Chain A
């Protein structure tokens, strides 16, 4: 009987190994299916015109009707404007707060408070960030409630905690001996922080910025509330209504026009590529940082 029991335990153990292997197959199926579908439907749309032309008139091909395919120049420009504006808002704030926490806060409670606030902020749902930015503008200036500026504020809310957290961690990896050596040479404190500490931590800071951009570039929910409807016109300035890649995917998905739908898949592929490149780049800078820290 003892032998039997051991045999059953072994068989059960093997069974569980197989099950856990199956789990990884099962989770890869939908994930691979998403990427496959995006490539399958997005790749045929991507050509020169895709990057240079305006959004076309809505159209579905029927016998006798051929549709103008057009391009996503405006959503693409819009996304770049949003990335630039939101980074401009979020990066200085995030870096400043992180430097304050690490360089001037030390181990005190105020230093940990900033980390905690950043952690809590990172849990804010993106739609709530959108509602927040919208209400700010409703209170402040309703005529600009739908604009690149408004949308950038919503995205910046999502970016600040990521930049703060990664920047804080990067600064903490800089050894105290480096700071002490600089101060001993008589450099002023702020120059030491900017030229020595911050530069040493730069790869980590860049990682944080890239991660924050990757997160916000794909967000559609806050744009739905704050960006308005500016896809049909060329870019008119940051206080005008606008368009962006994720937002165009939403329009293409919810409108019944074939050419808009096709462009939406092209946008999905473009966005996927952009975000994968940003993620890989951020991993690369992180490895760079790790190598530098080991002194290689």
Chain B
């Protein structure tokens, strides 16, 4: 290779020629696009940080521990929205993981072959439905159902647990969690299905050969092999649920209070921003909302990176196993 060759390739020993004008122009354009992608990542953080500077310097640490979000008093605490975000996402995943995993097990282990591909593709199509449609459906169908049928029953039979002792209004944490779980299920199912389908046949055959029943094959041979993929899929689903706006905004009631029960109204960080940012007239309000965006971004990115690390470790492990 010529020293200082500006066009090193994956096969550098091959090319020895002077760069042409067209080549240089093309490379500059590509570099600009590449810089734009990296700059976008940096700009997201910097711009949000700049917009929220007033809230960060004025409110300081009390922003993270504050239990009141009050434009009237010009005091802003993220805790109610943060708790709402974590509770709704956690419940949504608690519902979506067992159902999605169960469906993925059925699709890969038990379903007749002709059924597997169409049902799998159908579920992937459903994952593409926009969240505003899920939210609209939740508001028109699920909220009345919750208010008149489900929640009165929950209060009667499970009121003693303390989780369900509010007036049944339908616009609450529970309904938001249910809509989020409906949205998360296709994601969890699709990723789990992919990792279960990637388990080598030999793994299953070995278990069958020593006399394991269908369930024992799944439980002891298939799931352990696909575990990281399933976990990564669930974490990706969690990331999406945490950042979801429209589906939650329409059904959660949008009150920035710490929910006293699952039937109490609440809000999430994303819903709070969507609800208030364009009407933020108090001097500290918009900066406080931008800071909320910064916090949401940090949580979502941390979770996303975590899931990718699990996945890349999994791929590295499989590569090593294959060699």
Which residues of A approach B to under 8 Å, CB–CB? 9-10, 12-17, 19-24, 26-27, 30-31, 33-35, 37-38, 92-97, 99-101, 103-104, 106-107, 113-114, 116-132, 134-136, 138-139, 157, 160, 164, 176, 180, 183, 188-191, 193-194, 214-215, 217-221, 224-225, 246, 249-250, 252-254, 264-265, 268, 271-272, 275-276, 278-280, 283
Contact = CB atoms under 8 A, between A and B. Distances in A.
Contact of A97 (B36, B44, B50, B301): B36
B94 interface: no
11 contacts: A12-B213, A23-B105, A33-B137, A35-B129, A101-B34, A116-B308, A127-B245, A131-B289, A138-B51, A180-B11, A279-B125
Interface string B108-133: 01110000000101011110111111
A99 B249 CA distance: 39
A20 B38 contact: no
A35 B20 CA distance: 56
Most chain-B Cβ atoms within 10 A of its Cβ — which of A38, A128, A135, A215? A128
B158 interface: no
B218 A16 contact: yes
Contacts of A126: 243, 245
A17 B214 contact: yes
Interface residues of B, number: 94
Contacts of A113: 38
Contacts of A19: 102
Nearest to B289: A131
Interface stretch (B226-234, B258-266, B271-279): B271-279
Given A30-B182, A220-B246, A13 B214 contact: yes
A9 B99 contact: no
B191 to A, nearest CB: 14
B250 interface: yes
Contacts of B10: 106-107, 176
Interface stretch (B74-82, B197-205, B292-300, B313-321): B292-300
B55 interface: no
For the complex of A and B, list the 9 residue pairs with the smallest distance between their C-beta atoms, beginning with the closest. A96-B33, A218-B130, A125-B243, A123-B304, A23-B102, A190-B26, A221-B245, A13-B213, A13-B215
A20 B87 CA distance: 26
B19 to A, nearest CB: 8
